[in-house]
Structure 1
Amino acid sequence: MSSLFAKAASGIGCTVIALPLVAALIIAALLGGFSFGGGVAASPSRHALGDIPAYMLALYQRAAPECPGLPWTILAAIGKVETDHGRHPTMVSSAGAVGPMQFVPATFRAYADPVPPGGKKPPTPWDPVDAVYAAARLLCANGARNGHDLRSAIHAYNHATWYVDQVVKIATQYAATDLAPTKAAAKAVSFARTQLGTAYVWGGDGPAEGGFDCSGLTQTAYRTAGITIPRIAQAQYDHGPHLPKHTRLAPGDLLFFGTSPRSITHVSLYAGDGRAIDAPRPGAVVREGPAHTNAPSFQGATRPSAPGGGAR
């Protein structure tokens, strides 16, 4: 008997109760945070996920650590105000600023090096990777390092109070209000997002077996973060640690569904801002959609990344 069929015969698999399919292809990395816009690397809000192209969202998050203490939401808000994340048809201003982050070429050259991974050689303000990294460095040089004076840093980007206020407002809208995830939980969510579109396979633990089922996805996601949890959804629920009812969720929490706490039939991974990632059913794919924590079938949540939540 193959390992896949052996696992299926052991009761591994998922049945979803009232969970509609909502497909999304979003690349993001979720980490902990604080300060402006909900955190240095706060979870993106639903508004951010809908407003920022997936490639640009990932880029803002990847470039922000270039300046310790700079929230990715500030970079994203500047990109929004300047060119609507590169959607402006010409991206050339009357002052001669160019590209998605609107750099005057001479200013860009001062912050273009070193060329970031994926950037152009020679660097150019027209390239999104080069431009976003240069923007992070410019902000860092003008007060953003360690969150020292973010308003002054934004003002240095564009010398207008209205501009600073608008960037801060948008940055706040781009940050979710969930609790900040632990580093391990962030890694688990990031891994799960890389599997969006992977086929559902009953008893599956990953691409080598053709795909995942619900608990295979959550177990593998946490294994990549160095945390061991049981394989089957019921066992994962029983493993805990359980969150009291009405506890604020954090990205990485596991959400469980079934007819009772003793009959868990499905598990998903909370991704933040009321959304979750799961492998729902045969014929479907790994998806991101509403978390459904108000559904009658929702039985509760656990936090494997909490102290004592899993073997390390």
Structure 2
Amino acid sequence: MNGASRSRVGLAVGLAAALLLAALVISPMLMVSIPTIMGGAGGSTTDCDDDVQLEEASDSASSDIPRDLLELYKKHGKKIGVQWNVLAAVGKRETDHGRSDLPGVKSGTNYAGAAGPMQFLISTWGGKARIPIPSKFNGYASDGDDDGIADVYNPADAILGAARMLKRNGAPENIRRALFVYNRAWWYVDQVEEIAKRYAESGEVKLPPQADPACDDPLVEAAPSDVVAKIMEYALAQRGKPYLWGGTGPDAYDCSGIIYMAYRSAGLSIPRTTFGQWPFGVKIPAGSEQPGDLVFFNAGPGTGPNNPGHVGMVVEKGKMIEARCKLCGPIKVTGYRTRDTLMGFTRPLQNPAVLEQLKKLDDAL
């Protein structure tokens, strides 16, 4: 798991090895065999933005998951872009949705330092159970109820933190890999996946529904200029294609490759790599970014405090199109505000060389 469950992996090779890993609280209710998957029709649809409908909860989910937690699993799953039923299955397998009375669930830690309903190691949460947000370093500490505090015992905070961890490690596309990182045991992955299937009305672990491509039209129409609209049109048309390190299309791209080619589609030349794109554009204060601007992250190979290793392109406030990594699934529109590695924004269109290119394009018309 987040590290909290890893101790049990080591039980097979001895307690000494197990104590080096993160522990998972096991309640008696969680040790029962997993029931068979329940079926039913899927409830997802394709719509725009916040109107996208989530997988419907099965009768089993509705009867087993406390109502307030079910809403939190759905809310934060949708916000981060992971399957709510997988989040709920983790909560069930870890602490029976916080109902377990074992050490570390409601206060303190268990013998390996794990705490809260989603069983985070305190070290992976940020060093202590309650942390003001924002903080210089907070690990997966998250503020899910907007009270300014990331509290590992608060279900709203813990569920958001778990969603962020699953997302970082491969969810929603590679959910088995993400669950394996959460708790490094394949039997754990199998059990959580079975619970997740039982919680979904469809009886499956599906990819979260995506916005219909027709929803791109309003994004392009809202572009601040015809040039940005052309850049966005190209970038959005690459959705669904795979990530390829060094790729510049037409079949696959890396993070900076899709941006480089999107600008080329509008007749503009910018640096090819993330490392070149970061100093190239004019820095833009957070909150002032607009479509076509670039958003950079302290993530990826060769990264550093002023040397971002990953880049996306803003398509509207809070959203970007990105080619993230090979294990992260295809190119898609995602949110950037919840990424704790966000470094800043730039506007390539304000670089003097690009302004000169734009002038030449205007003169040629």
The TM-score with structure 2 as length reference comes to 0.36
The TM-score with structure 1 as length reference comes to 0.42
